[in-house]
A and B are shown apart, each in its own frame.
Chain A
């Protein structure tokens, strides 16, 4: 549950493989950007729905625990200087790693919530939709990386050894961090893709 998160910059250890002449990345970037924008419209609803279904203290007005993090999920927060200085490979690898972790964590949260809140079909549906969209975005990011001739990092298990004995409270906290970071990563993906869109105009 508290494994160290794979740092985005560790992906630099992968040797750069030439995968043939890069195609124009403008089209996949544009698609990814549209998807990220669409996802962004639903992220705060997902978080609010999630919190409402968990009972106190999560459902208390103004609930916020920004310093609560999951070791297995890379945090979206980054300084402007660092974020701006990322090269294409780092930027896309970070996003890829984050959304891969998010798809896996959203699956876990979906399972937890089926158990904790079986009578909340709306929440379960929203979690399922979020996971599918995150998966879609992963596909788009892979397409961009291919077009730029960048190696796509292999899919790995980000959850690791999830302790089955996690209490109901721990599971609710976990779901809060996942739905919150899903929103933050979507905001970041929108900015990343806007930057790439400007860099590789169609």
Chain B
């Protein structure tokens, strides 16, 4: 009698193991991924279960109220972003997992916004794009560039994922560029295109290293120097002209000076003793548009006596010297 018992035991154990295995690794090993539109209604069937099967639904591990059910199907109305998650339906009595859905609520893409600019004329230009409103689900973009009838390669930017770069092929011609972009996701697609001449999209980066210094013994002068933007490839054959603006901090009105060459300028009409803010912009001599304003430089013209220079008018208090430790006082020299 001993021999058949172990065999029977093994058979039962094997069967039990098979049932447990079937419960754990059911027909839905990985959840089915589903995309649905924000605001819409969706009915999730419980896999292949009959409509009248007794099931329980859970979302991200939390039970869902039975009033959402239509038979064994889960009905979600007016989808919101918060509805995204893993929905699982279980056989009510055995807790056998029947079906899993990863629901992503989102929107089809609206028309993308595409713009191109050259800050490295005449070497090339770049195009950037974005969607005006988020879709909340993954999007794929596809950019094509035509120069006349020739297809050009737009190299992806190594750092920014919504930008690519095109190298200029020819100077001194007016074959237009046409840049088209299409965007698609699981809920829809959209596209747009722009056409332009290469010279219309030229906009340099702002001048760099703008420095303003007082001029010794000149209470109304400030000397301003700057550098051409380092991204501009050839300032000698493609020279830049500059626009300088300055004002004392206490006033709102800017003074402007346009400079056709050189990277220095002396302001000669500064208000004595007032702190100034100065900015410079750049533009190619012939084509394109002005850069953004540079980082501002601050300076105050030279004054006779050393004192704390502030932007408010100072009450005359020559006898009270605010001495910082270690700074020499000069008033005895005057």
Contact = CB atoms under 8 A, between A and B. Distances in A.
Interface stretch (B92-100, B171-179, B181-189, B246-254): B171-179
Interface string A151-191: 00000000000000000000000000000100011011011
Interface residues of A, number: 24
A66 B237 contact: no
Interface in B121-158: 122-123, 148-149
B170 interface: yes
Contact of A84 (B175, B234, B239, B285): B234
B286 interface: yes
Contact of B148 (A67, A192, A195): A67
Given A67-B148, A80-B122, A190-B286, A199 B236 contact: yes
Given A40-B286, A77-B172, A198 B148 contact: no
Given A66-B148, A79-B169, A184 B174 contact: yes
Contact of A187 (B169, B236, B286): B286
B35 interface: no
A188 B171 CA distance: 8
B90 interface: no
Interface in A61-87: 64, 66-67, 75-80, 83-84
A199 B234 CA distance: 13
A194 B172 contact: no
A92 to B, nearest CB: 14
A187 B172 contact: yes
Contacts of B122: 80
Interface in B89-130: 122-123
B173 A77 contact: yes
A76 to B, nearest CB: 4
Contacts of B237: 84, 191-192, 194-195, 198
B-side interface mostly: loop
Give the one of B169, B172, B234, B286 with max A CB within 10 A.
Answer: B172
A192 B171 CA distance: 12
Give the one of A78, A80, A198 with max B CB within 10 A.
Answer: A80
B171 A66 contact: no
Contacts of B234: 84
B306 to A, nearest CB: 41
Contacts of A180: 174
Interface string B227-238: 000000010111
Interface in B294-310: none
Contacts of A84: 234, 237
A80 B175 CA distance: 15
B242 to A, nearest CB: 15
Interface residues of B, number: 20
Contacts of B226: none
A188 B172 CA distance: 6
Given A191-B237, A194-B238, A195-B237, A64 B174 contact: yes
B293 interface: no
A198 B237 CA distance: 7
Contacts of A188: 171-172
Nearest to B169: A79
Nearest to A191: B237
Nearest to A75: B173
A198 B176 contact: no
Given A66-B174, A80-B123, A198 B239 contact: yes
Nearest to B149: A67
B147 to A, nearest CB: 10
Interface in B174-218: 174-176
A199 B237 CA distance: 9
B136 to A, nearest CB: 40
Nearest to A180: B174
Contacts of A199: 236
Given A66-B148, A80-B123, A194 B171 contact: no
A77 B236 contact: no
B170 A79 contact: yes
A188 B122 CA distance: 12
B203 to A, nearest CB: 18
Contacts of A66: 148, 173-176
Q: What 6 pairs across the A-B complex have the smallest Cβ distances?
A: A77-B173, A195-B237, A198-B236, A76-B172, A188-B172, A77-B170
20 contacts: A40-B286, A66-B148, A66-B175, A66-B176, A77-B170, A77-B172, A77-B175, A79-B169, A80-B122, A80-B171, A84-B234, A180-B174, A184-B174, A185-B172, A187-B172, A190-B286, A191-B238, A192-B237, A195-B236, A195-B237
